[in-house]
């Protein structure tokens, strides 16, 4: 398996623009997580899905952030409008609930810079 | 609520020395505990996990961790550090809710430096 695939790897955008981050989870996995990593706040869970349904979005910082999972093989995280403080590395991870243990597999991340 | 605390944001050891990275957890249910490693500009990679079987867990690259319920700890160790071990290490917890959430909550990370 190719693992969790995220695109783009790097994104530079101007403040106010819309940004869409994409994720393809590992085939057969039923959980998908979006994390944000910054120096100041570390790894924060933004939202996660189970069987394409959002379960917990309490980590989404503002209404400017939205996430969708239209099918089992694709998810997006959208920021509209983007702000400089959104600059971070965004990770997508997926897992399969085997024996009630969540072992998450991470993508390479998208480094977002908002100028 | 669940959480993990990693003591020491930076740890420096000499090549060949013992590596000890500390993690304490807080959980209202029996926890599942994990250690992940992150190399520069990479995603996180699972090192090892505790799933309530053996309390001493062996992982990849010679790392191991011991679950101590009395101390609510899950410290990561390696007998002899290698230069290639230089990376950031994250402890994480998820809950054994028997059907509910499986989300991973991460600690703030420990950056390990290995000196020649």
Convert the pLDDT of each residue in B5-59 to its tens digit: 999 999 999 999 999 999 999 887 778 899 999 998 888 999 999 987 788 999 9
| Three-state secondary structure readout of A47-113 | EEEECCEEEECCCCCCCCEEEEEEECCEEEEEECCCCHHHCEEEEEEEECCECCECCCEECCCEEEE
Q: How far apart are CA B33 and CA B25, in angstroms?
A: 8
| Burial environment of residue A41 by CB neighbours within 10 A (0 to 12, 13 to 18, 19 or more) | exposed
Phi and psi (nearest 5°) for A30?
-110, 0
Residues of A in contact with B45 (CB under 8 A): 106
Q: Does the structure show a pLDDT above 70 at B97?
A: no
The CA distance from A18 to the nearest CA of chain B, in Å, is: 24
Band of pLDDT at residue B95, cut at 50, 70 and 90: low
Residues of A in contact with B46 (CB under 8 A): 103-105
CB of A98 less than 8 A from some CB of B = no
Q: Are A71 and A84 in contact (CB under 8 A)?
A: no
Paired strand residues for A105:
A94
The CA distance from A107 to the nearest CA of chain B, in Å, is: 6
Residues of B in contact with A102 (CB under 8 A): 32, 94, 102-104
Q: Does the structure show a pLDDT above 70 at A99?
A: no
């Amino acid at each position: 398996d190719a693992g969790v695939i995220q695109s783009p790897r790097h994104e530079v955008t101007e403040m106010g623009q819309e940004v869409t981050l994409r994720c393809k989870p590992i085939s057969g996995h039923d959980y998908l997580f979006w994390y944000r990593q910054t120096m100041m706040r570390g790894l924060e869970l933004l939202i996660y899905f189970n069987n394409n349904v959002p379960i917990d979005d309490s980590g989404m910082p503002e209404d400017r952030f939205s996430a969708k999972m239209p099918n089992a093989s694709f998810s997006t995280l959208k920021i509209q409008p983007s702000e400089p403080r959104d600059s971070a590395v965004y990770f997508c991870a997926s897992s399969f609930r085997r024996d009630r243990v969540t072992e998450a597999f991470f993508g390479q991340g998208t480094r977002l810079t908002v100028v | 609520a669940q959480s993990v605390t990693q003591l020491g944001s930076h740890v420096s050891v000499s090549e060949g020395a013992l590596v000890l990275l500390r993690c304490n957890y807080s959980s209202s249910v029996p926890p599942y505990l994990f250690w992940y490693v992150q190399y520069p500009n990479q995603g996180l990679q699972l090192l090892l996990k505790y799933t309530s079987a053996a309390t001493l867990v062996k992982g990849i690259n010679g790392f191991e961790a011991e679950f101590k319920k009395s101390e609510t700890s899950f410290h990561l160790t390696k007998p002899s550090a290698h230069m290639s071990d230089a990376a950031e290490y994250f402890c994480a917890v998820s809950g054994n809710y028997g059907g509910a959430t499986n989300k991973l909550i991460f600690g703030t990370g420990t950056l390990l430096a290995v000196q020649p």
